[in-house]
Amino acid sequence: MVEYFKSDQLFEADEIDSDKIKALSDDTRLEIMNILADEPSYPSEVAEELSVSKQKAYYHFQKLQDSGLLKEEKSENVSGGQATYYAPTADGYILDLGNEGRPFHLPERKKPVIDFLYPLVDEGKLNGNIVVGSPDQHGPDQVRARDGHLAGDIALKLGKYTDTDQELVKLDTEVVRDSGFDENFLLIGGVLTNTLTKKFNEAFPAHFSGEEFPYREISTPQSTYTEDNIGLIAKARHPDKLGKTLFLIAGVRNSGTEAAVRAFKNLESIIEGYEGGEFYRVVRGLDLDGDGEIDDFEVVE
């Protein structure tokens, strides 16, 4: 078994041999393989689709199975009889000519992170949006968001666990305008700059607790934080839509949000011990090289 790319997606493939090549030299067998690549089926059903006799279909199925191109997938009772469903033995088949090709690195997708990101990321597909605050004055406090650029770092991290070319990032004003609140969201920015964070704030197990502008306070079940460089990563059930989930990456101020984003980029270590359900981590941004910029973080809770 080898791996190959097609349309920027990775597939497993069997190396083709002379028996497989001989079996695929027949046009009807190629059509059968294409049909079964979509979903498993049984000979008489395929015979009807191809407008050939059942006897001919069984003959071609047998040839494909004998060459190692088909495998029995399952058996079911169909129209009073037992039908055996068949499927290809691989996603594809290649002829290896011995060229070494160009080496490349594939990032490892770790199961704990896959479990943590679900259902925002479902079977390698993004099932929701990253939402940032609008850079224009908006919301009840008429504030401009200044952390939209951080969505790029989040998208790069999610890209390690997704195979999608869809639009990843939306402004909070776009979601409000479309009234599209019943989705999985990853929210970047606090209640002052992201109106969706303000809307869903109380749903998170750790959240912004300041009652007055400018809301510079994050509370957890254990403590309250007001330092500028404090950031928060949190996960919660969507309060209004069953089966949907919300993620929050925010800080007391911009430096705290930067710390939270940096921590999210190290998600594999941040979620160590995660067993499902709600989640939060409070982090503190660090300026280790003394240039006034956050370049590291530490977990404080």
Look at residue 8 in the predicted model and tell me its pLDDT: 47
DSSP secondary structure letter of residue 8: T
Integer Cα distance of 210 and 222 in angstroms: 16
Task: Give me the pLDDT at residue 13, please.
Answer: 65
Structural domains in the chain, sorted by start: 2-94 (1.10.10.10), 111-299 (3.30.379.10)
Instruction: Classify residue 300 by burial, with Cβ atoms within 10 Å: 0-12, 13-18, 19+.
Output: middle
Region at 71 (left for phi over 0; alpha for psi -120 to 50; beta for the rest): beta
| Confidence (pLDDT) at 247 | 97
Residues 95-118 have pLDDT tens digits of 766 666 565 555 566 788 889 999
Percent of the chain with pLDDT over 90: 56
d(CA 86, CA 264): 43
Which of these, 222, 221, 220, 214, lies nearest to 232 by C-alpha position? Answer: 220
Go through the chain and tell me how many residues it has: 301
**Sheet of 92-94, strand order:** 2-6, 9-15, 92-94
Q: What pTM was computed for the model?
A: 0.66
Torsion, Cα 162 163 164 168, to 10 degrees, reads 20
For 176-198, how does the pLDDT look when each residue is reduced to its tens digit (9 = 90+)? 999 989 999 999 999 999 999 99
